[in-house]
Amino acid sequence: TPGIRPMVAGNWKMNGTGGQLPELRAIAVGFAASGLDRKLDAVICVPATLISRAADVLVSSKVGLGGQDCSVKESGAHTGDISAVMLKEAGADYVIVGHSERRTDHHETDAVVSAKAEAAWKAGLTAIVCVGETAAERQAGQTLDVVARQLLGSLPDDMKSETTIVAYEPVWAIGTGQTPTAGDVEKAHAFMRRELIARFGGEGAKLRLLYGGSVKPLNAVELLGVTNVDGALVGGASLKATDFLAICEAY
């Protein structure tokens, strides 16, 4: 989108122990060496246990660092949860909220995702808010209805484009090697842009809209060339520096 700086964000999911850190270093080195930082932003969202070490790896690099979820609460009796404040303190500047795997595995509702976005902003993090329909919803012709409902419910009213990114991730395309056609992505993103402008005005016009779901080096040029696609959220292919950088090279 004219005036919007693209972003390629990686989501390592529950992958990566210390042995994965050299791959992160390779991403940081490759990103700067190829001059990609002049064209786009890159972020890698690592497991919470790796954030502080990843921050050391990425220090003074052009690659941003994120977590993959945060609690709606700042602190307290919530065993196993991690707050946005903790992520920030460990070195993150971004956090994914409402990923379909969180919505499925942890029954996160739009209201919960919205509260997580608020918690992220309060801690000084940029929230990457994920939406997207399931295969059944798509087959029932409900794709745009589902996306509209998730956008409405998962984005707080005080959303600012500077600290928010929306990722459209059809659930059936995540980790499957299947992707929507460029035409379908264009339709979904144009719809999201209209909805966001209707609700947030200029802030909706400036929001970065990422596509996610089986983005690979071979399909990146086509998917990232779609109107209103301002970047990608990349799962599997972000674990290998060569793949992640090849996707960035689509710009």
Residues involved in catalysis: 99, 169
Strands 41-45 and 126-131: unpaired
Q: Report which DSSP code applies to 239.
A: S
Residue among 237 and 250 whose Cβ is closer to ligand PEP:
237
Residue 127 contacts ligand PEP per CB under 6 A: no
Three-class secondary structure of residue 210 per DSSP: strand
Q: Cβ 104 to ligand PEP, closest distance in Å?
A: 12
- 212 annotated ligand binder: no
Residue 180 contacts ligand PEP per CB under 6 A: no
Phi-psi region of 98 (alpha: psi -120 to 50; beta: other; left: phi over 0): left
- What tokens appear for 218 in the block? 């071979």
- 175 annotated ligand binder: yes
**Which amino acid appears at position 85 of this protein?**
V
d(CA 212, CA 23): 21
Say if CB 94 and CB 125 are below 8 A apart: yes
Q: Which residue reads 């809209």 in tokens?
A: 209
Residue among 11 and 228 whose Cβ is closer to ligand PEP:
11
- 236 annotated ligand binder: yes
Q: What does the per-residue mask of binding to ligand PEP show for 77-116, with x meaning CB under 6 A?
A: ----------------------------------------
Cα end-to-end span (Å), the chain: 13
Q: What does the per-residue mask of binding to ligand PEP show for 199-238, with x meaning CB under 6 A?
A: -------------xxxx-----------------xxxxx-
Residue among 13 and 189 whose Cβ is closer to ligand PEP:
13
d(CA 231, CA 220): 9
In the list 69, 169, 230, 243, the residue contacting ligand PEP (rule: CB under 6 A) is 169
Residues near ligand PEP (CB under 6 A) = 11, 13, 169, 174-175, 212-215, 233-237
Binding residues for substrate are 11-13, 175, 214, 235-236
